[in-house]
């Protein structure tokens, strides 16, 4: 595992974009596993800038996203499809037909999950999976639990996640309570993992994920078993790890 310590959000964004950009340069037809949330917004901004100035070419890239809220259409401005379009896909030369986000409106959830697993397999697997981390240690929407869920599934969002998401919705009733998410096996099968974390609210989760026991109660702790993980985190997110003298 490589840990890059960055001083702040901006430096995390640039370093993480550099790591993903290097893959895009070295493997122009790479399969990117992508994430949403506040943390990667700055990183996507750099990727867009480098594509616009001709340093990156997305024309052969394909992508698969970690998750999507159940019940939201891709046109809803809180959906993860909408997030991906507005933060990245609309601004780079990617073929949108080669971008995949779970369909939040799928009526047959089991079938939708099986199809999503099949899509990932048909792409030949993910070359680099980008991950944020929840304050409770979740990755994708794999919430703390008694077991590691393996493949794409529907999850009941943890109360803390619903509360954290509430800021984006008009009322609590509008906040989705379920999501489709890749499972832990899907994530662990990616050839390379890029984990980004910023802010003090992630410090405890990041410490537990990287140095605590491997347990489904801290889903990100499974990453200790992956052979190729790059962590890019700012000093606030690394503060507990520093306090304990581990870095
Ligand atoms: C998003 C996702 C989530 C987020 C995590 C951190 O696709 O799967 O696991 O990465 O909740 O979110 P932010 O970056 O908003 O703190």
132 lines ligand 1 (CB under 6 A): yes
Q: Which of 70, 24, 48, 60 has its CA nearest to residue 194?
A: 24
Q: Ligand 1 centre from 134 Cα, in Å? A: 6
Report d(CA 79, CA 75) in Å as an integer. 7
Whole-number pLDDT of residue 165: 85
Phi then psi dihedrals of residue 9, to 5 deg: -55, -45
Report d(CA 26, CA 61) in Å as an integer. 12
134 lines ligand 1 (CB under 6 A): yes
Segment (H or E) for 67: strand 67-69
pLDDT tens for each residue of the chain, 247 residues long: 999 999 999 999 999 999 999 999 999 999 999 999 999 999 999 999 999 999 999 999 999 999 999 999 999 999 999 999 999 999 999 999 999 999 999 999 999 999 999 999 999 999 999 999 999 999 999 999 999 999 999 999 889 889 988 888 888 988 999 999 999 999 999 999 999 999 999 999 999 999 999 999 999 999 999 999 999 999 999 999 999 999 9
Atom of ligand 1 at shortest range from CA of 139? 9
Predicted TM-score (pTM) above 0.95: yes
42 lines ligand 1 (CB under 6 A): no
Q: Are 189 and 124 in contact (CB under 8 A)?
A: no
Which residue has its alpha carbon closest to ligand 1 atom 11? 134
Q: Are 70 and 154 in contact (CB under 8 A)?
A: yes
Atom of ligand 1 at shortest range from CA of 161? 11
139 lines ligand 1 (CB under 6 A): yes
Which residue has its alpha carbon closest to ligand 1 atom 8? 140
38 lines ligand 1 (CB under 6 A): yes
Atom of ligand 1 at shortest range from CA of 140? 8
Neighbours of 105 (CB within 10 A): 14
Atom of ligand 1 at shortest range from CA of 131? 10
Distance, first Cα to last Cα, the chain:
12
Q: Are 171 and 107 in contact (CB under 8 A)?
A: no
Who contacts 64 (Cβ-Cβ below 8 Å, separation ≥6)?
31, 32, 33, 34, 100, 119, 120, 123, 126, 182
Q: In terms of C-beta density within 10 A (0-12 exposed, 13-18 middle, 19 or more buried), how is residue 213 classed?
A: exposed
143 lines ligand 1 (CB under 6 A): no
- For residue 167, how far is the Cα from the chain centroid? 19
Give catalytic residues, as residue numbers. Answer: 67, 136, 138, 143
Whole-number pLDDT of residue 136: 94
Which residue has its alpha carbon closest to ligand 1 atom 10? 132
């Amino acid at each position: 595992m490589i840990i890059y310590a960055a001083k702040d959000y901006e430096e995390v964004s640039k370093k993480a974009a550099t790591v993903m950009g290097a893959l895009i340069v070295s493997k122009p037809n790479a399969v990117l596993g992508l994430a949403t949330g506040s943390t990667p917004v700055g990183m996507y901004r750099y990727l867009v800038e480098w594509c616009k100035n001709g340093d990156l070419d997305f024309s052969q890239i394909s992508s698969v996203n970690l998750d999507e809220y159940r019940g939201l259409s891709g046109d809803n401005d809180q959906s993860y499809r909408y997030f991906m379009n507005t933060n990245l896909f609309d601004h780079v030369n990617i073929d949108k037909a080669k971008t995949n986000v779970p369909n939040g409106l799928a009526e047959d959830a089991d079938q939708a999950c099986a199809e999503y697993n099949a899509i990932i397999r048909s792409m030949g697997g993910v070359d680099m999976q980008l991950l944020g981390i929840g304050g409770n240690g979740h990755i994708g929407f794999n919430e703390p639990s008694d077991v590691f869920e393996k493949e794409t599934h529907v999850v009941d969002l943890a109360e803390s996640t619903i509360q954290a998401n509430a800021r984006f919705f008009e009322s609590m009733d509008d906040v989705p309570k379920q999501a489709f998410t890749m499972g832990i096996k899907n994530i662990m099968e990616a050839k390379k993992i890029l984990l980004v974390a910023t802010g003090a609210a992630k410090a405890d989760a990041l410490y537990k994920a990287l140095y605590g026991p491997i347990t489904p109660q801290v889903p990100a702790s499974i990453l200790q078993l992956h052979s190729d993980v790059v962590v890019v985190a700012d000093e606030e997110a690394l503060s507990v790890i520093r306090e304990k003298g581990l870095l």
